[in-house]
Amino acid sequence: MPAHLAVLTSKPEWQTLKEQRERLDGVLMKDLFEQDPGRAKRYFIEGAGLSLDFSKNRITDEVLEALLALARSCNLEARRDALLRGERVNVTEDRPALHTALRNPGTEAVTVDGEDVIAEVQNTLNRMETLVNDVLDQRRTGYTGKPFTDVVSIGIGGSYLGPKLVGEALQPYARAGIRCHYVANIDGTEICETLRQVHPETTLFLIQSKSFRTQETLENSKVARQWFLDRCGDEQAVSQHFMAVTANVPAAQDFGVDPANVFPMWDWVGGRYSLWSAIGLPIAFSVGMANFRALLAGAHGMDQHFREAPLAENLPVVMAMLGIWYNNFWGAETHAILPYDHYLRSLPDHLQQLDMESNGKSVTQAGAPLAWQSGPVIWGGVGANGQHAYHQLIHQGTRLIPADFIIPLKTHNPVATHHADLFANCLSQSRAMMAGKSLEEARAELAAEGRSEAETEQLAAHKVIPGNKPSNTLIMESVTPETVGALIALYEHRTFVQGVIWDVDSFDQWGVELGKQLGKGILPRLLGEKGGNQASDSSTDHLIERFRSTGGA
């Protein structure tokens, strides 16, 4: 292998992990639990209101030590400090990635190109506070003087997934009187269905786009603007009802948004890390500014933990390195996110963008091809629903699927014994994954059912659950603004740590751009217009013909 391809995999720490991996061949977690009654307590760490039980992993103390040694050998601590200091960690775009500054309470200076970032952040938070309070307290109203009842947030990707997740997660804190709607897709159904639910006199539209160039967002915003004008007939009223969050102020102004209603975004915030900025306005409208600030405080608590906790007790570091363990040494190709909480149902969607856009890369920061696997497929869904669907494959399929179970100790909605039932389901799944069911147990079960010997022999193999499937269990007291903030920040840092190990730029997303470029060439052809002379292929041409033949547009 050429030397430049082998930096990571030729490290002695990598070799040690390979040896550890071989040593664990055939070793069952359930035996490790039996041999060591202290295992659960030893592999349990806490920070920023979250606790992680990582005992149900294929690890020993030696493995953990070797994983942390690998992290150190990749200069993780220095790279982390560079991130938090605002160094240009996004090398291909030559920018810092300062989402942590968005939740920094302002006690320490962070500068970018000589500008005091913290002061800008605090100013923006104060502007948000004024707007949100004015709307919630009905000092600011729609064009006929009626209070606002609905906020329609139009944005996609990072300008959508984070606010939607948190808006849902903090529903118990929602203020009466304001409903938030989210429109992301260019599928016209989404904007049409949303507009059917709202009234022009009482609806505030938030155009959420860092670039103000995203097709889906701009087209949906145009539809919303026209819908509004058709009903109110007054161009002047647009400025009362349309606001924007963007780094591209001139484009927002061209669209007709009053500059006083434009909230800033900055180059140094990646879209998928932007819910903490004014992109979080829908959250603030829903739960009030005090709760939004509590969300930031929770995330800041995790930033502090990430910065200060020793690596062995550092939640994002330990979770990241466990991910590296399965991804790079055990051949795992996916990672499941399984929140056992209805309020956190959109967490897998948000983490999918966060992780897959960040670490879906195949060259190093210097541009050399990776000779190791980078980010896995992130997927998942809310428990217990998944147990009646895809958990079968986790338990008995041929693939190794590490999972994160996430569950609060207390519910906002105590009803009957539901929360204990939910908790029992969560624990039963991680235990089933870990312990499984042996052939002997399967046989005994069938015999106890009164099956014949022949039947028992025939069926037993199907009933075996191999077990030894790894999982983490993340718990928190309850789903609050603080714990939700900490939880999302935890995964942000987990993603960063893995990017450091794989030596990729976790803050660009060039892969997304190609589809956007090609779309610009295909659209005119679908519409039968001139242009769109870019390279094509017979499949694309044929499908365009089919679309045109039905008069599809």
Ligand X SMILES: O=P(O)(O)OC[C@H]1O[C@H](O)[C@H](O)[C@@H](O)[C@@H]1O
Instruction: Using the rule CB under 6 A, give the single segment among 21-29, 150-158, 405-413, 438-446 that binds ligand X.
Output: 150-158
Choose between 281 and 460: whose C-beta lies nearer to ligand X: 281
Give the CA distances from residue 435 to residues 327, 429, 465, 507, in Å, rounded to whole numbers and listed in that order. Answer: 21, 10, 8, 38
CB of 233 to ligand X, least distance (A): 29
Residue with tokens 């547009």: 553
3-class SS of residue 152: strand
Per CB under 6 A, 376 contacts ligand X? no
In the complex, what is the shortest distance from the CB of residue 490 to ligand X, in angstroms, rounded to a whole number?
Answer: 20
Q: How far is the CB of 58 from ligand X (least distance, A)?
A: 33
Q: Hey, which residues between 155 and 184 contact ligand X (CB under 6 A)?
A: 156-159
**What's phi and psi for 51, nearest 5 deg?**
-130, 140
Site for ligand X in 443-482 (CB under 6 A): none
- Interface with ligand X: number of residues (CB under 6 A): 14
- Residue 214 near ligand X by CB under 6 A: yes
Q: Is 361 in the site for ligand X (CB under 6 A)?
A: no
Torsion sign across C-alpha atoms 478, 479, 480, 481: positive
Q: For residues 181 and 194, what is the distance between their CA atoms, to the nearest angstrom?
A: 7
Q: Which stretch binds ligand X (CB under 6 A): 103-111, 141-149, 205-213, 321-329?
A: 205-213
3-state secondary structure of 204: strand
Q: Name the minimum Å distance from CB 278 to ligand X.
A: 12
> Taking the CA of residue 189 as centre, how many other CA atoms within 13 Å lie in the half-sphere pointing to its CB?
1
Q: By rule CB under 6 A, what string of x and - marks binding of each residue 238-277 to ligand X?
A: ---------------------------------xx-----
Q: What is the largest CA-CA distance in the chain?
A: 83
Part of the chain binding ligand X (CB under 6 A), chosen from 46-54, 208-216, 392-400, 414-422 = 208-216
For strand 150-154 and strand 203-208, is the pairing parallel, antiparallel, or unpaired? parallel
Strand-pair partners of 183: 154
**At which residue do the structure tokens 């970032």 appear?**
117
Q: How far is the CB of 162 from ligand X (least distance, A)?
A: 9
Locate 359 and state its tokens. 């670490």
Measured from the CB atom, the residue of 118 and 156 that comes closer to ligand X is 156
Q: Which helix (H) or strand (E) element contains residue 469?
A: none
Q: Which of 56, 164, 210, 469 binds ligand X (CB under 6 A)?
A: 210
Q: Closer CB to ligand X, residue 71 or residue 218? A: 218
Measured from the CB of residue 437, what is the shortest distance to ligand X in angstroms?
43
Q: Which two tokens stand for residue 523?
A: 């659209």
Q: Interaction with ligand X in 79-108: which residues (CB under 6 A)?
A: none
CB 116 to ligand X: min, Å: 24
Which of 100, 124, 217, 221 is the binder for ligand X (CB under 6 A)? 217
Neighbours of 510 (CB within 10 A): 10
DSSP-derived 3-state class of residue 244: strand
3-class SS at 171?
helix
Question: Is 350:488 a contact under the CB 8 Å cutoff?
Answer: yes
Considering the complex, state which of residue 112 and residue 156 has its C-beta at the smaller distance from ligand X.
156
Closest CB to ligand X among residues 202, 211: 211
Residue spans of alpha helices (H) in 137-214 = 161-169, 188-196
CB 499 within 8 A of CB 357: no
Cβ closest to ligand X, residue 96 vs residue 271: 271
Q: Which stretch binds ligand X (CB under 6 A): 38-46, 206-214, 224-232, 543-551?
A: 206-214
Residues acting as catalytic residues: 357, 388, 516
> Any contact of residue 359 with ligand X (CB under 6 A)?
no
Q: Which is nearer to ligand X, 86 or 163 (CB)?
A: 163
Candidates 18-26, 88-96, 203-211, 418-426: pick the segment binding ligand X (CB under 6 A). 203-211
Give the residue with the Cβ less far from ligand X, 142 or 157: 157
Distance (Å, whole) CA 343 – CA 287: 14
Among 141, 211, 334, 365, binds ligand X (CB under 6 A): 211
- Before 384, cis peptide (omega within 30)? yes
- The distance of closest approach from Cβ of residue 209 to ligand X in the complex, given in angstroms and rounded to an integer, is 3
Q: Are 375 and 501 in contact (CB under 8 A)?
A: no
Burial letters for 427-466: b for 16+ Cβ neighbours within 10 Å, e otherwise? eebbebbbbbbbeeebbeebeeeebeeeebeeebeeebbe
The two structure tokens encoding residue 83: 């991130």
* Interface positions with ligand X (CB under 6 A): 156-159, 209-211, 214, 217, 271-272, 357, 509, 512
